[in-house]
Every structure is written in structure tokens, then in C-alpha cells.
Structure 1
Amino acid sequence: MLFFAHSGLRYLVFVTAVATIGYALRGVMTGRPYDKRMRVLSSTFAALLDLGILLGFGLLFSGRFYPQLGGHMVAMIFASVVAHVVAVVQRRRAPEDRTYPPHIVGTAVAVVIVIVGIMAIDRPIFG
């Protein structure tokens, strides 16, 4: 059961990533001021990555380990760090200095790292 929760969570991560990037692109293209919804989307994306890591450690401690998991774990932790850095940097900026492009870049980089991490264990990205 834990394996299916961990494995299925990636779809929520990808949907949230698309929503985060889409909202940030919309903000850039329309020139809208930075708002709370962007912060919430970014934080949700980071939190879902954290939940995936937590579930992954649960699987690890339940005895499911094989050598390829090392690269998978490192990639997922790195993706989570990237997502958190963007959220924290934007939160620490003055409200008038907050912008959308870091969310586009940071979320895209985190998604690429997640895909690399999934490929490290020879699993399909979707399916």
C-alpha cells in the first residue's frame, strides 16, 4: 500500500508543477503583481515533494532496498531542496520585489530532477 501511495504521488507532483509553472507564466505575461496564490502553489509543490520523500523513507525502512535507490533518493532530495530554495527566497524578499520567473525556473529544474530520479530506478515516468 505504501508503495502505491509513494508511486502515485508523482502524478500530484506533476500536476502541481504544471499549475505552478502555468500560474507563474500567466503572471509574467500579464504583468500581474505577485500574489498569495503563487506562494501557495509553490509551497504545495515543495510539500508534495517532501511527502514523497517521507513515504520513500517509509518504504526504505520497511525493507525495500536495492542499489539503484541511492541515485533515486539523492535526486528526490535535491529536487525538494530546489523547490524549497525558490519558496524561501521569494518569501524573504520584500513584497514589491517578489517575481514570477524564479518559480518557473525552479519548478522546471525540480521536475527535471524528479524525472531523472524516476529514471534512475528504471520506472516509467507516466504509467
Structure 2
Amino acid sequence: MGNFFLNAHSGLRYLILLAGVLTVLYAMYGVASGRAYDKVIRILATSFAGTIHLQILLGLALLLSGAGFQSVLIGHFFMMSFAAAAAQIPVSVMRRRPEETKSYLPHGVAALVALALIAGGILAIRPSIFG
């Protein structure tokens, strides 16, 4: 069972990175074009945050399945937790704002911060992000 969780946890990171990059690119497009806030950015940002949350659950399942604990996992876990928080905050804040005050910029900045934290978390346990 631990092998399943390891493969799922390792493979999901590519979907997370893709969702993060798409969120950043669409947010930049929205800011640059001056478009009104739309549901596409909400869906992209929510998908990005949701996949990070799923990744954390898979990581905990991997840890509890007996994969073994190493001290480098502490830094990995905290960086990923902060990445999940960074991705979730603008989604939660924008959901409560009136339509005319919603903006693309917080989603783009938060996704960039989350991607940087994810890269740091991956590099804490591996020599390469894509390896």
C-alpha cells in the first residue's frame, strides 16, 4: 500500500505544478488585459489549492503507511503546508468579496509564492524538481 501512496504522491506533483503555472499565467493575462474577474480564475485557483490539499493528505497517508520517517521530511512538510495556505488564502478572501472588488493579482502572487514554496519543499528531499 505504501508503494501506491508513493507513486500517487510523486505523480500528483506534476498536476499541481501545471495547475499553479496555469493560475499564474491566467492571472497575469487578467491583470494585463484589465478584464473583469471571472469564474475561470476562481476555478483554476481552487483547483490549484485543492490539489495541494490532496497532496498533503497523500503525504500523510504515505507517512502513516510505514514508508519511514526521515528528518528532512520535517522541512518538506512545513514548506508544503505553507504552500497550501498561500494558495488557499486568496481563494477564500475573493469568495467573500463583492464582485466589483475582486482582482486577479492576489491569485497570481499567491500562486507564485506557493510554487516557490513547493519547489523548495521538493528540493528539500530530492536533487531535482522534475527528477
- The percent identity for this pair of structures is 46
Aligned to 1:115, which of 113, 119, 126? 119
Cα distance in 1 for residues equivalent to 2:130 and 2:110 = 22
In the alignment, structure 1 residue 47 sits paired with structure 2 residue 50: yes
SS in 2 for 1:121: coil
Q: State the partner residue of 1:23.
A: 26
Runs of 4+ in 1 over 4 A off after TM superposition: none
Cα distance in 2 for residues equivalent to 1:86 and 1:60 = 29
Q: Which runs of 5+ in 2 are unaligned?
A: none
Q: State the partner residue of 1:36.
A: 39
Q: State the partner residue of 2:72.
A: 68
Query: Structure 1 residues 104-113 or 64-73, which shifts more?
Result: 64-73
Aligned to 1:89, which of 61, 68, 93? 93
Q: Which runs of 5+ in 1 are unaligned?
A: none
Aligned Cα root-mean-square deviation (Å): 0.9
Aligned residues: 127
